[in-house]
Amino acid sequence: MGKLICRLHLLICLLVSIQTAADINPEQLSLSTVRVVVKKPNNEMNVASGFLWQKPQWVVTSLHVLDAHAKSRIIIEFGKKKRLAKVSRVLPEADLVLLEVMKPPKGWSPLTYFKQSRPKYREHVTALGFHHGALAMSTRELLKGYAKPEILKQFLPPNAVETLKKTNIPDIEFPIYYLDGSLLPGFSGAPVFDRQGKLVGIGNGGLENGAANVSWVIPATNLSKLVNSKQSTLPKGLYKTSKLFTLDKVVPLKNQPTRHLVFKPYDVLTWLFSPAYAASDEWDFGSSQLVEPNAIEYQNFEFYKIKTRSMAELILSSATPNELRSIQHLFKAIFGEFRIDFEAPKFDIYSDAYFGINIVVPAGAQLYVDEQGYLLAKSANMCRQCYYELQYHARIFSDKNQGALVESPVAFFGEKLTQHWQELNDEGEFVEYVDFRHLTMYGGKRFVANALYANFNEPLVERYEVNYLSIATNRESWLQTQAINNRFDDEYMQQLSTHTGLNCQRVNLSSEQVELCQSLVYAYTLLASVHLTGFSNRFFPI
């Protein structure tokens, strides 16, 4: 009888724990979450997330969103109702600011408590906010990762470290929560909850590292320090810090809001992060329409477009620029010493928040899932029947694969790259160019392997193929990306030979040379798209 009661007790505890794990209620928490719009005198606009804290008139968000210009404004959007805000308190070392609004709308409920303990490794957390300034609020499911030491400096590119050392906004030695995944742009200031709906932290990020973005979570325990802070003015170094945070910019649509407040669109490649401050209390800003982001869903991935950048801009923001430039050597190994502008091509970067993986396509190309369930990219020059293809294929890790990866990443990827070569040889006679086999480590059991294959020695084929592969692994699955270039028929090979060493940046090119140069530039962007596959929140030596 005693054993039966004990078992019943254990069963009840289990059922209670299962019920508790599902207690988070986004609908209820949405009444505490707001959109923060920052309007500068030059009509530029930043959009972030925020939440009500302790009082209906108190709003917490990221300090780097603000700007010290006297004419800048902070607009807090409570759904369709808008209020102007002013700075009440700041905590620079944590990149936090407490804003205050007058006459907050009724029906909204401030959060009043936070979880004291840190989330455990691999614990699920949920961020609630506005991706890229979308009007619709959404959740992002993430996992708490492992890092030691778990301080901000470990995840920052060197250029950011040097700037933040001077401004101390935020403190690079500041303890944070590392995410095994990535917050999307616009989630700076977003509340982050555990499965029971308890506040554990505040989303932060917006820094760039090449094609990747950098994000983290500020522990919620810092809210007590923020409320008790004696500092109520914006720090002097804020402008320099804000310029680093480039990903919370949005491109507003043209519209005609009331009182003639017009949001001016600007070139996405000139995004510079600057925030805003306001001293007045209330204003009718009409509607500020923004480009609504769309997700590309593929198996267990959900990709959002986060930015468009030229190769020059990616190199400039990268902590490892030589890794990006190495694609030039690969291009020259295939095509020879043609001179093209390697830094001019533009790329669209997509990110999956849960796994933190980033994939890249030539600017303007469309990601889509075809009828067979394959993830592909298409454009005027790129399709299943075209010379150029970009294909993606996801696979779930078996327990055996997970064990093999942990035991020896080099051996694991060696086997997978050889397996791809064997699959190619089922249809042809391909050779791997082993000098271009490369394994990049991102930390947290995340890796990207690259390899190059071609069948230039195969007899009796109408066109040769170059196949460039990347395999990106995370904790549960891997994403395989391959660029396929079938342009190499006899006529094209003859053109490459005839015009070897051609400077494609010359003005007086023949029509045949122009066509050849266009094909070379597109071939390069295709290779670079695969080469730029990677993860956000990369570990850096400290």
pLDDT at 264: 35
Mean pLDDT by 10 residues, the chain (542 residues): 48 42 83 94 86 98 92 94 97 98 95 95 94 85 90 90 94 94 92 96 93 93 98 93 81 45 33 33 43 78 93 94 94 95 96 90 95 92 92 86 89 94 94 94 90 95 96 85 96 96 94 96 97 88 66
The answer to whether residues 49 and 203 touch, using CB atoms and an 8 Å cutoff, is yes
For the chain, helix, strand, coil in percent to 5 are: 30, 30, 40
Lookup result for tokens 């400039």? 316
* DSSP letter, residue 188: T
Q: Which helix (H) or strand (E) holds 512?
A: helix 511-531
C-beta of residue 28 within 8 angstroms of C-beta of residue 51: no
Give the model's pLDDT for residue 291: 53
pLDDT at site 34: 97
For residues 53 and 65, what is the distance between their CA atoms, to the nearest angstrom?
A: 18
Q: What is the pTM of this model?
A: 0.84
CA–CA separation, 370 and 376 (whole Å): 7
pLDDT digits (tens, 9 = 90+) for 320-373: 999 999 999 999 999 999 999 999 999 999 999 888 899 999 999 999 999 888
Q: What is the pLDDT of residue 332?
A: 96
Between CA 342 and CA 329 the distance in angstroms is 11
- pLDDT score, position 443: 85
pLDDT for the residue 44: 80
Sheet holding 534-535, edge to edge: 295-298, 301-310, 346-352, 357-362, 534-535
Closest CA to 294 of 415, 138, 428: 138
SS3 498: helix
**According to the model, what pLDDT value does residue 19 have?**
38
Q: pLDDT at position 216, please?
A: 96
CA distances from 272 to 211, 213, 240, 510 (A): 16, 15, 11, 39
DSSP run (H or E) holding 329: helix 321-335
Phi-psi region of 443 (alpha: psi -120 to 50; beta: other; left: phi over 0): left
pLDDT digits (tens, 9 = 90+) for 71-128: 899 999 999 999 999 999 999 999 999 999 999 999 999 999 999 999 999 899 999 9
In angstroms, rounded to a whole number, what is the distance separating the alpha carbons of residues 78 and 499? 62
